[in-house]
Amino acid sequence: MRIGIVNDLQIAVETLRRAIALEPGLEVAWVASNGEEAVAQCARDRPDVVLMDLIMPVMDGVEATRRIMAESPCAIVVVTVDVARHTARVFDAMGHGALDAVDTPVVGGGDLRTAAAPLLRKIRNIGWLIGRYGSRPNLTPVPKAAPRADAQRLLVIGASAGGPATLAQLLRDVPLDFPAGIVLVQHVDASFAAGMADWLNDQVLLPVRLVREGERPLPGQVLLAGTDDHLHLLADGTLRYTPDPKESLYRPSIDVFFHSVAQHWRGTAVGVLLTGMGQDGARGLKAMRERGCLTIAQDQATSAVYGMPKAAAALQAAVEIKPLDQIAPRVIQALA
C-alpha cells in the first residue's frame, strides 16, 4: 500500500516514515507540507491512504480533505497531535469523507512499534476495506426471529466515512417529540466517541449521549455506540457491548447491531444506512428488511462516500433509496 503523508512538522513526518517502515507492504508515496500540496499530489499520484494533519499553513486538513474527496477521492486518516483537543475539526474532516482519526505517534524514550500500533492497525483495516490485504471472513449470519409487533418503536442508523456531518443534518430534522428511540452506530474510535456525542449534542434538538451498558432505547434521546466492542440488542430489549464476533473488521460493526435488531426487537423498527466506505451494514439492513422493517439507504448523489449504501442497494437490502434531505421526513412518517 502506498501512503501519502501530509504534515508541516519535519519531526512528525520522520516519525510517520519510520512507523510505515515497520509494516511489511507499506511504502511512502510522497510527502506534502500543507493541504494545498496534498490536493495537488493526490491529483498527480493518488495513493492508497493519506495521513492528514489538521493544523497546517496555506490550507488546513479539513479543507484539504474536502478537496481531495471531491477531486481525487482516496482513503484519508486524520493523524494529528491530540485528537481529543480538536474534536470539532476531526468531525468536520470526517464529514467530508475522512475515515478515521488517530493521535500522531509520540515516541520520546519509548518504543516506536508500541506508539505506532494504533495508526498501523487503522491502516491495515483500511487495506482490508480497499482490497489490498485480500478478503476477510464473512460474519456468521444471525438467525432471524419471527416478527412480534407491539407499541415499541425504534430508529437505528449506521454510518462511516462522511457520517458525522450527515448524521447531524439528518437528526436536525427530527423533532423533540419524535416517538421512537434512536440508536446510532458510527465507525469512530472509542477514544473520541464521547467527543462525537458532545459535538452532535450541539448540532441537533434531541439530547445525544453514549450508550450505557444494560439500558433500553427510549423516545426523547439519541444513543451512540461508544466503544470498540460491538453493540448488541438483546432479547429483553437492553443494549449490551460484546467483543464478539472478534473477526469483524469494523468495530463497532453496523452489521452486528442491525442483525441483533432484526432478531430481537419486538416492535416497529426502521433501519437507515448512510454514507461510508466498504460494505458494513448492508447484510444487517437486509436482515431487517426480511423481518418486515422499513429500510432506507442514502443515495449516491448525497453520500460523501458511496460504499455502504451501494452495497445495500446491490443486495436489495433497502426498501427505499433516498437523498439525505428526504430521509428524516420519511422516517417520521413511518414511525409517527
Task: Provide the annotated active-site residues.
Answer: 160, 187, 280
**What separation in angstroms does the CA of 117 have from each of 16, 43, 60, 180?**
12, 29, 26, 40
The Cα 215–Cα 311 span in angstroms is 31
Phi-psi region of 190 (alpha: psi -120 to 50; beta: other; left: phi over 0): alpha
What is the largest distance, in Å, between two alpha-carbon atoms of the chain? Answer: 61
Distance CA 66, CA 302 (A): 14
Contact 249, 128 (CB under 8 A): yes
Pairing of strands 230-233, 49-52: unpaired
Rounded Cα distance, 207 and 176, in Å? 9
Q: SS3 of 181, please? A: strand
Number of alpha carbons in the 13 Å side-chain half-sphere of residue 248:
24
| Helices 282-290/254-264 angle, 10° precision | 10
Cell reading at 335: 414511525
